[in-house]
Chains A and B, each alone.
Chain A
């Protein structure tokens, strides 16, 4: 059970990060903040797992990283969506919607 849960979480986190970055480049901290705010504090990103996830996505070429200055003028690493990241976002959104619809159907039938 534990593994499926982790996979689900991981897959979902990817999607959330991609969606968040679609609005523009930002650093890890503000990605976490933004997800939490947008979900009305329902989704709290486990910060420890955020960074390995970002690195993995960078390795896959979905996002690119660049050092820049943060809003309070400190050195921070900014992530931005790449072309293949945008495609990934579309695909994962479509999958999510399909799954979401399917689950809703199941729940409504019951």
Chain B
């Protein structure tokens, strides 16, 4: 600016000089004449500058410099404010990163909006999602025109053997065009050819990047080589890229050969997941209409009990993230509350500082600063604060997101895509600006009001009326918000207590569990496999420290498989069939799990053979339902088309989760199992201590037999509540932060009020007021705000906690015990926050107070 003026003026003088010379003047005289004619350069320059006024940028820079100086002079205030904001903005940014990465951002595939999953829908109204029967898939594939392609996804476990430790892989058998549908290119090699899902051509495998790196050390020459899966040789044809991952994670892909097993042709055996891609230009509604039409056309060929079934076409994004969506929004709302409290707190601090600055502002106004100019300067200061807070908050967010993704890797879909990225940075910036204005505006407006003489005369003492009311309102709001968060956290806490108190029907303490898939070629389902499993159990039971060991197809909390059963004495009519979960168990499964035997006997080695007489064990619920008034022992039931004699009755188990009532359950001997199994070992020592010993024992029997997922039964039970626990931890964290901030705010307000009233209190005491009365009076003022906040918060909580309803267990969203509990907690904290300043007020020495001002 200054240089520009100088340059312009210099140009003028030099032009004049040049002309003078051209008119015949000698050089030095020409210069002198030009200067004389121009007049005083200095004063012209000044005049120009003043005319121009300072630019927007310069003013802002000035304000920032001034703001920084002000903060530097009040390090205590600055630290508290910046930390408070960092907490609020950091938490908000962290949760935003989750919401953005999981819910908002599109899936990382080409045209992700076209990807869908298809389900059979028993409700017929698009509400249920049931796996798809093989014949159903074949029908769809033949008739559908609104999709580019549809592919099955069938999850199986195969044992990878050969070099290195055998590993149990989760393999997806998929249609040949699966990768085309996702539009995923292998990172090395190729995908499946169109005919590779035909019989005889299917011994090819595509590995995920993770498996390739971790098991094969990332060897680039692996493509084209053979690997052994369940004793069969497969050629590795491709390696998938590290990113994006498959929508449903697994270790490897092999072709699904349609028709290779009898259930593929069934319309009532539901084992498949199906994904598809809409043709471009086709809407979801059109695809749904077409699938409904196809279903209508095919109705006659369906079994009669499926006559009301429909098809659900679910966008892939909704399929993957739908379950977590409400929880993430709840968390986002919760951090929003924390941020609001942080803002209210800082606004309170700023209001308190007004006292000291009222005079400063009055002087500015007296010197001609406009109202908006003052507001602008104050806002610059508050935005400066919030930016500092935001910067520190980002560090918090980075750290928090890292921690969170580690903690919740199993509970959060798309967790690999979550991170603090550009949009999170943008969000943090916006939040900082927004909060800076939000908490700065009220104090700024307040401070900038043109009451010059009053402020100048007051000698820097705050006028209590306006700012006091505003601070009071802020405190009430903070307490109310904190109470709502506490109520949410309290409800989650009670839910977890309730879950822990539920009788699970088994004893999870001191039990080791692991998963095992048996090679179909080496151990075909039947007696040979049963004998191998029995041998494993015997060897493990003979280990020191082991009490009992057994296997089952599905451990509690890990899902369930169901079918239907009928008492043989009843006629073969649909109405006499009872839906029941089933499990195939062997060895000492019941004692190992701690499931009590109520009647009869357990399975013995003699029962564990396909040529032995069929015997079954019922749980109590099934026994009561199927033989209401008879002794079930010795009775016969029809299951899987065969007749089974009831040998025993065991206690009920919460198979499907602690929050689900136990269902009817039938147990059959392991020899009849075509499925992989899980091994449970009850130990006298800490279970994990035996993990390696068990693994080695099994490898000694068959060096190609991998086991996977070694964990304790307690971990399985804890895992079943992990989503709720995560919600509790996060809500608890946010609620705790909110309560702390509200308490700090309350303390600050009361302390400030006391410091303002020192003189008044001194006079009262000089006039004979008792110390106790002073204490009470200050406490009363603080508690009035608290009670108002608590009342408001209770109303809010009453309205809001229903968003948690789907996570609660045996607790209503308006649980009075919880509400009263958190209210009492909050009041107790508020009491402490008020008591500290009140005690100071009580200790005021009247003589000193009167002399002080």
A interface residues, Cβ below 8 angstroms from B: 27-29, 32, 46-49, 51-52, 55-56, 58-59, 70, 72, 74-77
Given A55-B51, A55-B52; A29-B38 close (CB under 8 Å):
no
Q: Is the CB–CB distance between A29 and B39 below 8 Å? A: no
Stretch at the interface among B10-18, B381-389, B526-534, B593-601: B10-18
Most interface-central of A48, A58, A59, A75 (chain B CB within 10 A): A48
Chain B residues, Cβ within 8 Å of A48: 38-40, 43-44
- Report the minimal beta-carbon distance from B626 to chain A, rounded to whole angstroms: 93
Given A47-B37, A48-B39, A48-B44; A59-B53 close (CB under 8 Å):
yes
- Can you report 20 residue pairs joining A to B where beta carbons are below 8 Å apart? A29-B12, A47-B16, A48-B38, A48-B39, A48-B43, A49-B44, A51-B5, A51-B8, A51-B9, A51-B12, A52-B44, A55-B51, A55-B52, A56-B51, A58-B52, A70-B11, A70-B15, A74-B11, A77-B4, A77-B7
Q: Is the CB–CB distance between A29 and B16 below 8 Å? A: yes
- Report the minimal beta-carbon distance from A60 to chain B, rounded to whole angstroms: 10
In the complex, A56→B49 CA distance in Å? 10
Q: Is the CB–CB distance between A28 and B39 below 8 Å? A: no
Q: Which residue of B lies closest to A57 (CB)?
A: B51
- Report the minimal beta-carbon distance from B38 to chain A, rounded to whole angstroms: 5
Most interface-central of B11, B15, B18 (chain A CB within 10 A): B15
Q: Is the CB–CB distance between B39 and A55 below 8 Å? A: no
Chain B residues, Cβ within 8 Å of A29: 11-12, 15-16
Chain A residues, Cβ within 8 Å of B38: 47-48
Count of chain A to chain B residue pairs whose CB atoms are closer than 8 Å in the complex = 54
Other 20 A-B pairs with CB < 8 A, given A47-B39, A74-B11: A27-B8, A28-B11, A29-B11, A29-B15, A29-B16, A32-B12, A47-B16, A47-B37, A47-B38, A48-B38, A48-B39, A48-B40, A52-B47, A52-B51, A59-B52, A59-B53, A76-B8, A77-B4, A77-B8, A77-B11
Q: Which residue of A lies closest to B15 (CB)?
A: A29
Q: Is the CB–CB distance between B51 and A59 below 8 Å? A: yes
Judged by a CB distance under 8 angstroms, whether B70 is at the interface is: no
- Report the minimal beta-carbon distance from A52 to chain B, rounded to whole angstroms: 4
Chain A residues, Cβ within 8 Å of B37: 47
In the complex, A54→B53 CA distance in Å? 14
Chain A interface secondary structure, helix, strand, loop or mixed? helix
Q: Is the CB–CB distance between B7 and A75 below 8 Å? A: yes
Chain B residues, Cβ within 8 Å of A58: 52
Judged by a CB distance under 8 angstroms, whether B104 is at the interface is: no
In the complex, A46→B43 CA distance in Å? 14
Chain B residues, Cβ within 8 Å of A46: 39
Q: Is the CB–CB distance between B51 and A28 below 8 Å? A: no
Most interface-central of A28, A46, A52 (chain B CB within 10 A): A52
Judged by a CB distance under 8 angstroms, whether B298 is at the interface is: no
In the complex, A51→B40 CA distance in Å? 12
B interface residues, Cβ below 8 angstroms from A: 4-5, 7-9, 11-12, 15-16, 18, 37-40, 43-44, 47-48, 51-53
Given A52-B51, A55-B48; A28-B40 close (CB under 8 Å):
no
Q: Which residue of A lies closest to B11 (CB)?
A: A76
Chain B residues, Cβ within 8 Å of A27: 8, 11
In the complex, A28→B8 CA distance in Å? 8
In the complex, A76→B53 CA distance in Å? 22
Chain B residues, Cβ within 8 Å of A52: 44, 47-48, 51
In the complex, A99→B18 CA distance in Å? 39
In the complex, A28→B47 CA distance in Å? 16
- Report the minimal beta-carbon distance from B56 to chain A, rounded to whole angstroms: 14
Chain A residues, Cβ within 8 Å of B18: 72
Q: Which residue of B lies closest to A71 (CB)?
A: B15
- Report the minimal beta-carbon distance from A47 to chain B, rounded to whole angstroms: 5
Q: Which residue of B lies closest to A28 (CB)?
A: B12
Chain B residues, Cβ within 8 Å of A76: 8, 11
- Report the minimal beta-carbon distance from A80 to chain B, rounded to whole angstroms: 15
- Report the minimal beta-carbon distance from A45 to chain B, rounded to whole angstroms: 10
- Report the minimal beta-carbon distance from B33 to chain A, rounded to whole angstroms: 12
In the complex, A46→B18 CA distance in Å? 19
Most interface-central of A28, A29, A56 (chain B CB within 10 A): A29
In the complex, A76→B9 CA distance in Å? 10
In the complex, A29→B13 CA distance in Å? 8
In the complex, A77→B3 CA distance in Å? 12
Chain A residues, Cβ within 8 Å of B53: 59
In the complex, A47→B47 CA distance in Å? 13
In the complex, A89→B8 CA distance in Å? 25
- Report the minimal beta-carbon distance from B205 to chain A, rounded to whole angstroms: 69
In the complex, A70→B7 CA distance in Å? 13
- Report the minimal beta-carbon distance from A97 to chain B, rounded to whole angstroms: 28
In the complex, A72→B47 CA distance in Å? 28
Chain B residues, Cβ within 8 Å of A77: 4, 7-8, 11
In the complex, A74→B18 CA distance in Å? 13
In the complex, A32→B9 CA distance in Å? 13
In the complex, A5→B48 CA distance in Å? 21
In the complex, A52→B48 CA distance in Å? 5
Chain B residues, Cβ within 8 Å of A28: 8, 11-12
In the complex, A48→B40 CA distance in Å? 7
Chain B residues, Cβ within 8 Å of A56: 51
Chain A residues, Cβ within 8 Å of B44: 48-49, 51-52
In the complex, A46→B16 CA distance in Å? 13
Shortest Cβ-Cβ A-B pairs, 4 listed: A48-B39, A52-B47, A55-B51, A29-B15
Q: Which residue of A lies closest to B41 (CB)?
A: A48
In the complex, A56→B53 CA distance in Å? 10
In the complex, A29→B48 CA distance in Å? 16
Chain A residues, Cβ within 8 Å of B8: 27-28, 51, 76-77
Q: Which residue of A lies closest to B43 (CB)?
A: A48
- Report the minimal beta-carbon distance from B851 to chain A, rounded to whole angstroms: 55
Chain A residues, Cβ within 8 Å of B16: 29, 47
In the complex, A32→B12 CA distance in Å? 10
In the complex, A55→B26 CA distance in Å? 33
- Report the minimal beta-carbon distance from B658 to chain A, rounded to whole angstroms: 74
In the complex, A46→B44 CA distance in Å? 11
Chain B residues, Cβ within 8 Å of A49: 44
Most interface-central of B5, B11, B53 (chain A CB within 10 A): B11
Q: Which residue of B lies closest to A54 (CB)?
A: B48
In the complex, A12→B5 CA distance in Å? 24
Q: Which residue of A lies closest to B38 (CB)?
A: A47
Chain A residues, Cβ within 8 Å of B47: 51-52, 55
Chain A residues, Cβ within 8 Å of B11: 27-29, 70, 74-77
